Chain A
Amino acid sequence: MQIQVKCTCGEGNCPEWAIVELQGTVEAQPSFQNSLQNLQIGILCRQSQESHTFSVGYHELTGTKVKLKKPMLVLKKIKLQNEEEIGETEINSLRVELDVIGIIRHKILFKTRPKALISKPQLAVKEKVTPPSSTVPN
């Protein structure tokens, strides 16, 4: 079986995506769990040349923009219908292709322990601090 990898946007036109990476998980309040779309997560701020902060709920994370050691490609699996005529019968087979829809060269990485912010209003989304080894399901 062969799956072709291609880039329909064309070389040189492949758009750059971004990653914001943090330790722990982002959790929405139960009442919002099923309608996350368009919900604000937090505020990203660039403090200085080197430093970014990300405020989610009661927490403020500090981090930096880093260049990835190796770039990453964003691949999308595409299923195509293949209509073939073999002899008298028509065979509909599925063909899978992988389309490169983006490339990532940088990320904003937050590695520090979050700082608790005081006197912030109750927000729909908060950042839950979990030890790195466990993940909280979304």
Chain B
Amino acid sequence: MDMEHLGLRSTGGAEAVLGLQPNSTMSIAYHSLFGSHNDITLLEIDETLIPDILQQRVTIRGQPDEDAVLCTQSKTYALKYVGTSNSVLLIPPSDKAVKECNDITIPVAAVFKVAPGIMEVVEVAPKLDKLKFLLSQNPYSFDEASDMDISHERMNTGLYSWDNLVDEVQASNEELRSGLQALSAVEIYGYWRVLDDKYMDMILNILLHDVILNDWSFNALNEDEVLRALETDGFPCNIAMHCLKVYGNKVEEHVGGSCVWQLEERRICVHFAREILKSGKMKVEKFMAEWIRKVPDGMHASFDMLEGEVLTEKLGIETLIYHFSVSSLPSTPAERFKILFRERQKWEWKDLQPYVRDLRVPGLSAEAILLKYTRRTQPTVDAEPIFSAR
């Protein structure tokens, strides 16, 4: 029998290898189409992800210069290639296309490819910093809103639709949607925009003015009435709705009727604090006086509302306050801590916590993140722990 070149009959394949019974033998040979087949890769994944993959709910996302990620509807995974020095002989199921030939008495399974490595997946946080960057390039301003001449050629550059964002941002659909919500982005003419500060400030002030004018209650605003009033003031319906969503919470849903909204005291107070601190560092007393004055009647500003938004520093006997918002910091831990420790070398936990509690690294607890990126010292047993750079 010619043992060297066997004519292969389709008797074998993967089934034969896996189903080989005790005291049986079979031949393993190179497939008639054996080759490097660089278009074929092995991907190791959790059993739980398989239904999503087979039902087409998984995509690979990334630009050519980025490391590709695998996205399900709700999670993002980094793809890592792991090489092996073993010989991994890949055997497909029995192939009807294999050429028929000599009569052979033992089954044959054919090796299609020798795999030099496999792809693994590791869950990662979505890369949403890029989303923030892209949208902040062209914030939607009052001028643009009032510009009745909307030339669509202009609209197409530097603006991003949902599909454009999916193309550019390495995040799952759900994570992208929450990212947009976290940025208070709004879809205008099919493009996702963030409103510029001045415009937001303008709408809020006019809304608050309308509340007083019409003797409405902060806690029970009628959606229709609000939209109508803001429309009269010159704001399109979608922008007015956006304002309600950013500064309020829907408290009652009336099917067929108008919903009821409640303005969120904290968000509004923080907004005014930010406006005041735009002019730079100032003495705490001066800030507090101005803040209380600016906050709408009926709302109460308290310092704890500003955690994660402001920092204080001592200058002689004075204490200065300035704007330092967690929302403007990078979402990746390494980058985040670099900036935090550049701002201040040493942090007490109570000051640090608002600036790190939103950090997410799948697989790492909050304590583990601190352990990895900071150095913790405690002068005495009773003293507060101090965090500094590693």
Contacts and interface: CB of A to CB of B under 8 A. Distances in A.
Contact of B58 (A1, A5, A54, A71): A5
B3 A40 contact: yes
B35 to A, nearest CB: 8
Given A5-B56, A75-B43, A23 B25 contact: no
A100 B60 contact: no
Contacts of B92: 15, 17, 74, 102
Contacts of A14: 54
A76 B89 contact: no
A38 B8 contact: yes
Contact of B167 (A1, A32, A36, A76): A1
Interface of A is mostly: strand
Contact of B14 (A6, A15, A36, A76): A15
A6 B60 CA distance: 11
Given A2-B59, A40-B3, A75 B20 contact: no
Interface size class of B (residues with CB under 8 A): 35 or more
Interface string B3-24: 1111110000111011011111
Contacts of A48: 22-23
A36 B34 contact: yes
Given A1-B167, A70-B45, A71-B47, A42 B56 contact: no
A23 B30 CA distance: 18
A99 to B, nearest CB: 10
A5 B23 CA distance: 41
Contacts of A19: 88-91, 115
A38 to B, nearest CB: 5
A7 to B, nearest CB: 5
B315 interface: no
A16 B32 CA distance: 19
Contacts of B127: none
Q: In the complex, which of the residues A17, A70, A76 has the most CB atoms of chain B within 10 Å of its own CB atom?
A: A17
Contacts of B64: 1
Contacts of A26: 87, 89, 114
A134 interface: yes
B61 interface: yes
B27 interface: yes
Contacts of A101: 40
Contacts of A32: 4
A117 to B, nearest CB: 15
A11 B56 CA distance: 10
B21 to A, nearest CB: 6
Contacts of B32: 37-38
A78 B32 CA distance: 21
B243 to A, nearest CB: 33
B3 A74 contact: no
Interface in B69-102: 70, 85-93, 99
**Most chain-A Cβ atoms within 10 A of its Cβ — which of B26, B29, B55?**
B29
Nearest to A11: B54
B350 to A, nearest CB: 42
A98 B24 CA distance: 37
B111 interface: yes
A25 B87 contact: yes
Interface of A: 1-7, 10-11, 14-26, 32, 36-49, 52, 54, 65, 68, 70-78, 98, 100-104, 106, 108, 123-124, 132-135, 138
* 4 A-B pairs with the lowest CB-CB distances in the bound complex, closest first: A18-B14, A11-B54, A3-B60, A18-B17
